[in-house]
């Protein structure tokens, strides 16, 4: 059979019921009463919340809104819309003061200013990759925009890149601290929201958004998450929203920052790599040049290798009987 996007089709109702049953079983195993999750107004957290409601009912699900200084106001607006739509309880936790106290913004701004001398805290910026047509090793550039609209793009040296990422990762780690506060307070479990593309390729912060008690949609390709959102009657305005990191002050798509291709195409590349489909077949199905798919295959393997550390539990000198843990 000719490879096509139909490979990612699923029975939405059957899959939603299967996941909901798994969530109920998992909560029983870990002895938790309900689910806490961060609501970002994005498709992944919305679908995860809807699945939690399907599994437990709205009275046992808590959504947490955690905006900060760089957050798009639309994220909070859509998160509130989703909570009201599902009928779940929600709380608002502004994490900007905590991040300021940790010097998240100060450290990050200093790193950007080391590359763009004109940069001040009033500027907005984001990090970007070269794009899918780029040949050779990937590198990050910073794109900064002045209050007057002047835009500067500079390639980031490694030290500046690491400084920006290290400071920015505080956002995910502070959010997870807040989620676990509420989980401990209510004897609930924390649900993580990565889809398969993000989980497989290490697009999460260790002990930040990568930390969770259960991850209900980590086996679903992003395309399948969108299909499940329709089954679960997620509001259309959320389903129409393009994936965004909502991390930097300038709007930024996930394909700009990490994946290099839109999710619809990269899903097919990842599926093809997982099932040993020839690059030429994936290219025809995804509307890409064969060379682009071949590079995507290599990048999938590279990301799996370089982000393996993020999936590892703490390393032990030797295994502890009846407890577990990873040995070196």
Q: What is the pLDDT of residue 114?
A: 97
**Is pLDDT of 149 > 70?**
yes
**Is pLDDT of 98 > 80?**
yes
Q: What is the tens place of the pLDDT at every residue in 38-72?
A: 999 999 999 999 999 999 999 999 999 999 999 99
Q: pLDDT higher for 142 or 254? A: 142
Per-residue b/e over 177-210, b at no fewer than 16 CB within 10 Å? bbbbebbeebebbbbbbbbbbbbbbbbbbbebbb
pLDDT-derived band of residue 323, with 50, 70 and 90 as boundaries? confident
Residue 104 and residue 168 in contact, taking contact as beta carbons nearer than 8 Å: yes
Q: What is the pLDDT of residue 254?
A: 63
Q: What is the pLDDT of residue 193?
A: 97
Q: What is the pLDDT of residue 131?
A: 62
Instruction: Taking residues 94-120, report their average pLDDT.
Output: 97
Q: pLDDT higher for 50 or 257? A: 50
Q: What is the pLDDT of residue 8?
A: 96
Residue 174 and residue 95 in contact, taking contact as beta carbons nearer than 8 Å: yes
Number of residues that make up the chain: 328
Report how far apart, in Å, the C-alpha atoms of 244 and of each of 23, 41, 42 are. 27, 10, 8
Residues linked to residue 92 through DSSP beta bridges, in sequence order: 65
Instruction: Taking residues 166-188, report their average pLDDT.
Output: 98
Q: What is the pLDDT of residue 22?
A: 98
Instruction: Taking residues 79-99, report their average pLDDT.
Output: 98
Q: What is the pLDDT of residue 322?
A: 81
**Is pLDDT of 297 > 90?**
yes
The residue with tokens 């002045």 is 146
Instruction: Taking residues 147-163, report their average pLDDT.
Output: 95
Q: What is the tens place of the pLDDT at every residue in 17-26?
A: 999 999 999 9
pTM: 0.92
**Is pLDDT of 173 > 60?**
yes
Q: Are β-strands 124-128 and 141-145 bridged in parallel, bridged antiparallel, or unpaired?
A: antiparallel
Q: What is the pLDDT of residue 132?
A: 58
Average pLDDT, the chain: 93
Q: What is the tens place of the pLDDT at every residue in 206-255?
A: 999 999 999 999 999 999 999 999 999 999 999 998 877 788 888 877 66
Instruction: Taking residues 5-9, report their average pLDDT.
Output: 94
**Is pLDDT of 325 > 70?**
no
Q: What is the pLDDT of residue 242?
A: 82
Tell me the C-alpha distance between 295 and 300, whole Å.
9
Q: What is the pLDDT of residue 129?
A: 80
């Amino acid at each position: 059979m000719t490879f096509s996007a139909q490979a990612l089709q699923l029975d939405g109702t059957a899959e939603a019921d299967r996941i909901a049953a798994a969530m109920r079983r998992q909560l029983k195993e870990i002895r938790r009463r309900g689910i806490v999750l961060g609501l970002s107004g994005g498709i992944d957290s919305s679908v995860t919340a809807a699945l939690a409601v399907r599994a437990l009912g709205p009275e046992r699900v808590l959504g947490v809104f955690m905006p900060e200084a760089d957050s798009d106001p639309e994220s909070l607006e859509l998160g509130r819309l989703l909570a009201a739509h599902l009928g779940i309880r929600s709380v608002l936790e502004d994490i900007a003061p905590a991040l300021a106290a940790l010097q998240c913004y100060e450290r990050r701004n200093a790193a950007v200013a080391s590359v763009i001398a004109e940069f001040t805290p009033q500027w907005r910026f984001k990090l970007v990759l070269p794009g899918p047509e780029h040949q050779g090793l990937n590198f990050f550039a910073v794109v900064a925009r002045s209050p007057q609209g002047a835009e500067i793009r500079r390639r980031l040296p490694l030290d500046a890149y690491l400084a920006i990422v290290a400071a920015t990762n505080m956002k995910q780690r502070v959010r997870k601290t807040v989620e676990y506060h509420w989980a401990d307070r209510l004897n609930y479990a924390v649900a993580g929201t990565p889809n398969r593309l993000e989980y497989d390729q290490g697009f999460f912060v260790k002990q930040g958004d990568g930390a969770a008690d259960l991850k209900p949609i980590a086996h679903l390709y992003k395309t399948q998450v969108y299909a499940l959102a329709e089954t679960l009657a997620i509001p259309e305005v959320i389903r129409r929203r393009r994936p965004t990191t909502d991390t930097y002050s300038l709007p930024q798509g996930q394909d700009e920052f990490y994946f290099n291709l839109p999710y619809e195409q990269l899903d097919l590349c990842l599926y093809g790599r997982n099932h040993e489909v020839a690059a030429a077949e994936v290219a025809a199905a995804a509307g890409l040049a064969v060379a682009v798919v071949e590079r995507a295959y290599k990048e999938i393997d590279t990301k799996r290798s370089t982000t393996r550390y993020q999936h590892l539990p703490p390393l032990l000198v030797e295994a502890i009987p009846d407890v577990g843990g990873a040995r070196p």
